[in-house]
Amino acid sequence: METLIPFRGQSQYDAAIHPRLQGSACGPVTVAVILQHHEKNQIVVDDFYKQIGGTRIGLFTWRMIRRLRRSLGSRYHIAKAVSLEDVKQELLAGRPVAMKFDKHFSFRWFQKPAYRYHWVPLVGFHDEEDDVTLFFHDNGGRGRESRLRKTSWKRNRDVLSFVKIVPVDSLS
């Protein structure tokens, strides 16, 4: 089984984002591009950074969920995905998922995941014989647009967490 959602990423180093926020804007950018995918309108990341509780050391999952629930209200269902199957169902329904790599707060200091700490929009997967390939936008780099990348579920599973951002009208 596989799917890949047509998706437009954004660099967290985009000129429209304040330079002081860029280094820790991966969480707000991830949420902003997912909401832009659903709503088809532009979101100002600098304002959104403060609204959802971005900090210089990143954006905690619990804070993202709580602040999104508060700011988006009943228009969206915001929840942590409980399994890889849960994540796959979201992707198959055409809904990107916020994915966080976090080796520090998952206490996996000696692992070598794709990123040490980074939020990205997950936009697809491909089932392999003994693994799952995950497709995501990397949120760019200094002077570089966001690009589609892939990584192994098995290699990263101990450091990954997922947040579903689901428009309520798509649940009917």
Q: How many CA atoms lie within 13 Å of 125's alpha carbon, on the beta-carbon side? A: 24
> Is-contact 75 167, C-beta < 8 A?
yes
pLDDT of residue 110: 61
Of residues 127, 130, 64, the one with CA closest to residue 100: 64
With b meaning 16 or more CB within 10 Å and e meaning fewer, what string describes 68-87? beeebeeebebeebeeeeeb
Provide the pLDDT for residue 171. 65
pLDDT of residue 53: 81
- For the chain, domains (ranges, CATH) are 2-170 (3.90.70.10)
At residue 111, the pLDDT reads: 67
Query: Model-level pTM?
Result: 0.92
Mean pLDDT (10-residue bins), the chain, 172 residues: 94 94 93 93 86 83 93 94 96 97 64 74 97 95 92 92 92 62
Burial-class residue 47 by CB neighbours within 10 Å (0-12, 13-18, 19+).
Answer: exposed
